[in-house]
Structure 1
Amino acid sequence: MPRRTPYDDPRLVALRKLGREQGQVVSRKQVYGLGVTRWEVRGEVRARRWQLIGDQSVCLHNSELSDEGNRWAALFQGGPRAQLDGASSLVASGLERFSVDRVRVSVPRGVRVRRTRLFDIRQTRRWSADDLAPGGIPHTRVAVATVRAALWARTDKEATYVLTLVVQQGLERAEAIGEELLRVRRDRRRLLLHEVVNDLLGGARSIGELDVGRELRRRGLPEPSRQVLRRDRADRYYLDLCWPDLHLVVEIDGIHHSWAENVVGDALRQNALAIQGDAVLRLPLLGLRLEPDAFYAQIEDAMLAAGWRPAAA
């Protein structure tokens, strides 16, 4: 009888097929379940055909892990109820222009956690089986992952950025994120996230104008005229904040201004104002959250350039 080779061994054929579905990473339980022995695994590792990832995973090659393989290895290290969570779950769901240092995995409170420097595996009271997204690699639903990524972000700026990015890229609606945020009862960042989600919903326009007006008064800057009506060749429109005597306009932009369908209209309107002799400054609502001093300094500089002078103390 001819000797069986690794290419026609049904155990290894099944293992390679499973590996193709999991970024070439399989769990030890899966390996042993297919009939491959511990000694055979050790032999493949010694021959440098395979490599061990943590103490729960086997990679079926000896080169650099793919992102997908890294995620599966983190899940196997976390155990049977582990879920990709937070930013790691978002990246697995297709979020672009955002990266994570270590794969984040959540497990329920009270389970055994196998610590490793390779992955960020944490128990969390927020874990719920209902949060699991349907199909694919085990990961939390986008709305859940977005809220948690923002709660766990290193800074308020990063938290704001990830919320904005998810809505901009169409991974989830702001309404769904807001609904998920209502589940959060206690967190130091909860109020900030409510404000940002309100901005994303487009419901903060009037609130933003009032906030700007109060801040201008506090800084000793002149009061603007609000909702001034202007007309160009195509249509008429209202300006958010205007100082007609200074030929200065400040437009307060919600997140919807950065969406493709609004870019052309905003550009035409700004160009029309420039033709009429007005300087136009744009104040994103996100700017109010992240860099308020820089934006208000620009408003003051524009006023000074137009001839305004502060009242003598």
Structure 2
Amino acid sequence: MAGNEAQRSPAPLRPMGAHRRTLAAQLAADHGGVVHRNELARYGVGRNAIRDEIGAGRWFRAGRHTVAIDAPVLGTEALRWWAVWESGAGARLDGVSALLSDGMTGFTAAAIDVTLPARNRHHALAGVRLHRVDCPPPMRGAGIPRVAVELATIHGAQWAVSDRQAALVICLPIQQRLLLPARLQLAWRGVGRSARRQFINAVIADVADGAHSLGELDFTRMARIYGLPTPSHQVVRSGPRGRVYLDISWDEVGLVVEIDGGHHALALNPVDDALRQNDRVVVGERVLRIPVIGFRIVPEKFMQQVRRTYDVLGRA
């Protein structure tokens, strides 16, 4: 008996008073101000000690597992940890929530998306959208449990409330260098079913391959619908910096349309685009620019602009 007792791990020391509160604050600092009860227990802060601190108004009960240190109102990071801890075993951030946790900006989520195994017990939480799946996607790296960026991007686009929002979810991680287009394409090939398959497939091609993904037949078809004559494509012009290629042109009225793929916003491409456009304006041509993603979302608005511009130039 004595031998068995000697082999047991010693119980953790129980920090008291100010030392206990300092320890809890240090643990919570890694989670936006909250700490899991199991983590406190690992350092000797048990149920009774937590109850005493909550009773004294120094700590606050935020859930079955979550204790808030110093403040009862949870901030953004703390809410994400709370959502993962309280949703159920195996929970992880997914979709836009995972992307925001990875540093994506320019998007405000209406709820926290959490994925967890369907076989595990789950708990509905206000402000949390649960996705229960048989085979949850693997989690990435250190920090808060979350899905890899490429899969989170695809899921976020699938769960978006509109095609416009889906396109934004796909574009932002690429533009902010959180994700390489090639990795997104590879992950997308592994997706079996999607309610937005055709649209997402087109947008991923757009951000990965720029204007080349928008075939000449696509634009020509739209031009025909709006009563425009068939334009010329990939027209060669000579300028101060040598030869340039224009995406679309109606030479008879001096109208040029440039289709800007996702790569146009990167590095010095905006400078080159501006110089090329200004050169065409100097020699008397009118240039309209159409972001390729915009053409996917609201093609009618851009084509109305093209139609009006063509008519104005034709009357000049």
Give the TM-score normalised by the residue count of structure 2: 0.89
Amino acid at match of 2:94: D
For the pair 1:36 / 2:45, whether they are aligned, the reply is: yes
Task: Say which is worse superposed, 188-197 or 63-72, in terms of deviation.
Answer: 63-72
How far off its partner does 1:262 sit? 0.5
What aligned pairs does 1:245-264 form with structure 2 within 5 A after superposition? 245-264=252-271
1:28-59 CA-partner distances (Å, limit 9, x unpaired): 23234433343332332233211122322111
Which residue does 2:5 correspond to in 1? none
Structure 1 runs, 4 residues or longer, greater than 6 Å off? none
Which residue does 2:32 correspond to in 1? 23
Contact 1:246 1:307 in 2 (8 A): yes
How far off its partner does 1:24 sit? 2.0
Matched residue SS, 1:81: coil
Task: Say which is worse superposed, 100-109 or 83-92, in terms of deviation.
Answer: 100-109
1:199-244 CA-partner distances (Å, limit 9, x unpaired): 1111652643220111111222111122221111111111111111
Which of 156, 160, 164 pairs up with 2:163? 156
Between the aligned partners of 1:206 and 1:140, the Cα distance in structure 2 is 28
1:132-152 CA-partner distances (Å, limit 9, x unpaired): 112222111111111111111
Which residue does 2:9 correspond to in 1? none
Q: CA, structure 1 residues 118+250, in 2 after alignment: closer, same or farther (shift >3 Å)?
A: closer
Which residue does 2:75 correspond to in 1? 66
Amino acid at match of 2:195: R
Aligned alpha-carbon RMSD (Å): 2.0
For the pair 1:211 / 2:218, whether they are aligned, the reply is: yes
How far off its partner does 1:274 sit? 0.5
1:99-125 CA-partner distances (Å, limit 9, x unpaired): 212222110112111112142233124
For the pair 1:50 / 2:59, whether they are aligned, the reply is: yes
Between the aligned partners of 1:226 and 1:62, the Cα distance in structure 2 is 62
Contact 2:91 2:116 in 1 (8 A): yes
Which residue does 1:7 correspond to in 2? 18
For the pair 1:287 / 2:298, whether they are aligned, the reply is: no
For the pair 1:193 / 2:200, whether they are aligned, the reply is: yes
Give the TM-score normalised by the residue count of structure 1: 0.90
For the pair 1:91 / 2:100, whether they are aligned, the reply is: yes
Contact 2:210 2:262 in 1 (8 A): no
What aligned pairs does 1:70-81 form with structure 2 within 5 A after superposition? 70-81=79-90
Contact 1:198 1:204 in 2 (8 A): no
Which residue does 2:91 correspond to in 1? 82
Between the aligned partners of 2:291 and 2:77, the Cα distance in structure 1 is 36
Contact 1:205 1:252 in 2 (8 A): no
How many percent of aligned residue pairs carry the same amino acid? 35
Task: Say which is worse superposed, 198-207 or 219-228, in terms of deviation.
Answer: 198-207
Q: CA, structure 1 residues 67+91, in 2 after alignment: closer, same or farther (shift >3 Å)?
A: same
How far off its partner does 1:63 sit? 4.5
Between the aligned partners of 2:252 and 2:109, the Cα distance in structure 1 is 49
Amino acid at match of 2:79: N
Between the aligned partners of 2:61 and 2:81, the Cα distance in structure 1 is 13
Amino acid at match of 2:60: Q
Matched residue SS, 2:141: coil
For the pair 1:228 / 2:219, whether they are aligned, the reply is: no
Matched residue SS, 2:114: strand
Between the aligned partners of 2:148 and 2:264, the Cα distance in structure 1 is 27
Which of 140, 150, 159 pairs up with 1:143? 150
Which residue does 1:122 correspond to in 2? 131
Between the aligned partners of 1:206 and 1:148, the Cα distance in structure 2 is 22
Count how many residue pairs are aligned between Structure 1 and Structure 2.
302
For the pair 1:113 / 2:128, whether they are aligned, the reply is: no
